Amino acid sequence: MSTEILAPLDGRAMPMSEVPDPVFSAEMVGAGVAIEPLDTDDATTVVAPVSGSIVKLHPHAAVIVTADGTGVLLHVGIDTVGKPDLFEVKATEGDQVDAGDPLITFSPNAVRRLGLSAAVPVVVMDSAPGSAQNALTGPVTTGSVLFSM
């Protein structure tokens, strides 16, 4: 059975190898695709890429586990841990969410002004490096299929 992972925001899809973080770029956490958000100061909403239960929710990250036990991690920006003022959480840990439900809002350019990457890795946890199938690259819109596992 294949799990489709949807794009959680608009932007440019890129291979994990382009993420400026060695853990994500080497797919140590799992395989996936990252999205470089649009160039905007406006609030950008990051939505659930799959339906399931939010098992972890921080201002900068979320983990959703699907009904079949697949864990999907979203990390909003690189090196954004400990900067909760950049984010507004729109859900609660333990919530059941549908793909497309709002999780976190942030301004990509506010992250960039701090000299940080605004890239949003979307990872299937504990999956083998390179195992993301049909991975998109280039322009992507919220809700389109980003990759499958």
* 145 contact partners, CB below 8 Å, separation of at least 6: 4, 5, 6, 7, 134, 136
Instruction: Give the Cα separation of 66 and 78 in Å (integer).
Output: 25
Catalytic residue among 13, 50, 75, 122: 75
Instruction: Give the Cα separation of 48 and 31 in Å (integer).
Output: 17
Q: What is the enclosing helix (H) or strand (E) of 103?
A: strand 102-106
Sign of the CA dihedral running 77, 36, 54, 92? positive
Whether 58 is catalytic is: no
107, 40 in Cβ contact below 8 A?
yes
Q: Which of 107, 118, 111 is nearest to 42 (CA)?
A: 107
* Active site residue ranges: 75
